Structure 1
Amino acid sequence: MDDIKMTELLKERFRIEMEKQDRGGVYALTQRKMAYNSNRIEGSTLTEKQTASIFETGTIRADGSVFRTKDVEEMTGHFTMFNYMLDTCEEILSQRLIKEYHYRLKAGVFEDIANGYPIGEYKNRRNMVSNIMTSTPENVEEDMKVLLEDYNSKEPHSLKDLAEFHARFEKIHPFQDGNGRTGRMILFKECLRSCVMPFIIGNDRKAEYYECLNKAQQNEDYEPLIRYFGQEQERYVEMVKDFIVPVVKK
């Protein structure tokens, strides 16, 4: 089965299972895996089992472990953002849509609200990521406009286009917090829209992900990031292939 056919079947399964609130198929598997890995990359203390419990029952079993309420709030926000992404995956990427994703991730996070972080809006304070100087708050709007104009002029998009967009988006770092999770959700959305097999960036390969991303941002060397995305595609295909079967129309 080629990537286009497989991606179309995947989108169909996502729509059906989300509508039916199916917790046993590829939609639920992807929700749990992506939320766990993307949040864990950013320092979440929740385990994969706890993530699954939040998604499936809305609860966490009290086993003596200590976890941050922020982690739970961001995990539920990620589930909401994923659902909204599926509802909008065929839309052309825009600043409005990106802000909507961020809003759904962060709207229920008390710590961010208490700190005065803009929710669903661009940052109002300067921030840094490792050795990368990100866009200043006053330049974010224009930098995002240029990025999206460049990206949207290239349709249909390839894995190379996605790697370039992701590196530039994360270098702009438009939000006060939640840039990585929003950026990785955009990658998944754009894969679905372009019928490129989507992927989940695994926490177990976080160091390699950051290394490849840094090379792309510092030297405009995108090949390592493209290869990395391809490897993560292979892992995702292996995980979901048995869940994807043609839907029989009645």
Structure 2
Amino acid sequence: MKQKIYLSNDYFSDLMIRMAHHSTAIEGNTLTQGETKSILIDNYIPRAMNMRELHEVLNYKAYVKQMIEDLKQDVPIDVEYIKSVHAVLCNNAIEGIAGRFKTIPNLVIGADFTPTPPYLVPSELENWRLNLQYQLEHAENNDEIIESILRQHIQFEHIHPFSDGNGRVGRALIVYSCLRAHIVPIVIPVQDKGRYINYLNTEDITGFVLYAKELQQTELMRIQALANDTERDLYIWLPADAAKVEIN
């Protein structure tokens, strides 16, 4: 037995702040979560700051708004969709390349693999899409869905289709894939950056899945605490015996 829980606007505001802060901070953005909240929710710039860092977090307001609409329309992930996510998340943050695949080969520092060469990126991403679709269609439970999404995340970072911004796009696709599959989203916190990068480096899918399930438990508490049954457009499925937090 499963139960349906609906996702509130307040939850998506909370999700937006945390996606913006943690994903950009993993890449080196120095804004705090409090400053990110001031920018995205209060429309207030709390201090003088680097314009690139400002735009990096501002872009998540546009991204999450579009993500919600795409989820309502059940928009599938394809090559053009991936480019559109990059275009939104890198707008005014990465000069001249937002929404464009790399045109010269790139490397990941210290990696023991070579990213896909530019001329093969479109075909490799199409294979990536088909593999993800197949795995999700044949997944029989929550764990298999998570494993499929995370396995493809590792593969996405190996393809490294853009000259910059690959990590934030890949992590945004994790969240979108989870919500499209109606499971609790996975938001990787910056304080766990080393652990996360190690899973990518070692391709430890078993450890990555166990870690993701820990993150889902924390995320579920936020979803339940911010629940609002009057907003019924988007939902996730939970086991009938899932823990419920007390809301005062």
Output the TM-score relative to the length of structure 2. Answer: 0.83
CA RMSD of aligned residues (A): 1.9
Paired residues, number:
222
Kindly provide the amino acid, as one letter, of the partner of residue 55 in structure 1: L
- Contiguous gaps of at least 5 residues in structure 1: 18-24
Structure 2: distance between partners of 1:248 and 1:121: 36
Kindly provide the amino acid, as one letter, of the partner of residue 100 in structure 2: E
Q: Residue in 2 aligned with 1:38?
A: 23
Structure number with the higher helix fraction is 1
Residue 94 of structure 1 and its aligned partner are, at CA, apart by: 0.5
Residue 107 of structure 1 and its aligned partner are, at CA, apart by: 2.0
Structure 2: distance between partners of 1:129 and 1:83: 31
Structure 2: distance between partners of 1:31 and 1:140: 29
1:146 aligned onto 2:127: yes
Q: Residue in 2 aligned with 1:96?
A: 80
SS of alignment partner, residue 98 of structure 2: coil
Does the 8 Å CA contact 1:135/1:171 hold for their aligned counterparts? yes
Structure 1: distance between partners of 2:67 and 2:79: 14
Does the 8 Å CA contact 1:85/1:101 hold for their aligned counterparts? no
Q: Residue in 2 aligned with 1:27?
A: 12
Does the 8 Å CA contact 2:136/2:148 hold for their aligned counterparts? no
1:126 aligned onto 2:125: no
Structure 1: distance between partners of 2:167 and 2:75: 21
Of residues 159, 162, 166 in structure 1, which corresponds to 2:153?
A: 166
Kindly provide the amino acid, as one letter, of the partner of residue 44 in structure 2: T
Q: Residue in 2 aligned with 1:77?
A: 59
Kindly provide the amino acid, as one letter, of the partner of residue 62 in structure 2: T
Residue 248 of structure 1 and its aligned partner are, at CA, apart by: 7.6
Structure 1: distance between partners of 2:148 and 2:166: 19
Structure 2: distance between partners of 1:248 and 1:148: 31
1:187 aligned onto 2:174: yes
Structure 1: distance between partners of 2:135 and 2:16: 29
Kindly provide the amino acid, as one letter, of the partner of residue 153 in structure 1: Y
> What whole-Å deviation, never above 9, does each CA across 1:145-181 have from its counterpart, x for those lacking one?
1111111123335111101110100110111111111
1:224 aligned onto 2:223: no
Of residues 22, 30, 42 in structure 2, which corresponds to 1:57?
A: 42
Structure 2: distance between partners of 1:242 and 1:74: 28
Of residues 104, 108, 111 in structure 1, which corresponds to 2:92?
A: 108
Kindly provide the amino acid, as one letter, of the partner of residue 192 in structure 1: L
Output the TM-score relative to the length of structure 1. Answer: 0.83
Residue 188 of structure 1 and its aligned partner are, at CA, apart by: 0.7
Structure 2: distance between partners of 1:213 and 1:244: 33
More RCO (CA 8 Å, sep 6+): 2
Structure 2: distance between partners of 1:146 and 1:195: 23
Residue 5 of structure 1 and its aligned partner are, at CA, apart by: 1.5
Does the 8 Å CA contact 1:45/1:67 hold for their aligned counterparts? no
Does the 8 Å CA contact 1:163/1:225 hold for their aligned counterparts? yes
Q: Residue in 2 aligned with 1:244?
A: 227
Kindly provide the amino acid, as one letter, of the partner of residue 153 in structure 2: H
The 1:33/1:136 distance shift into structure 2, 3 A limit, reads same
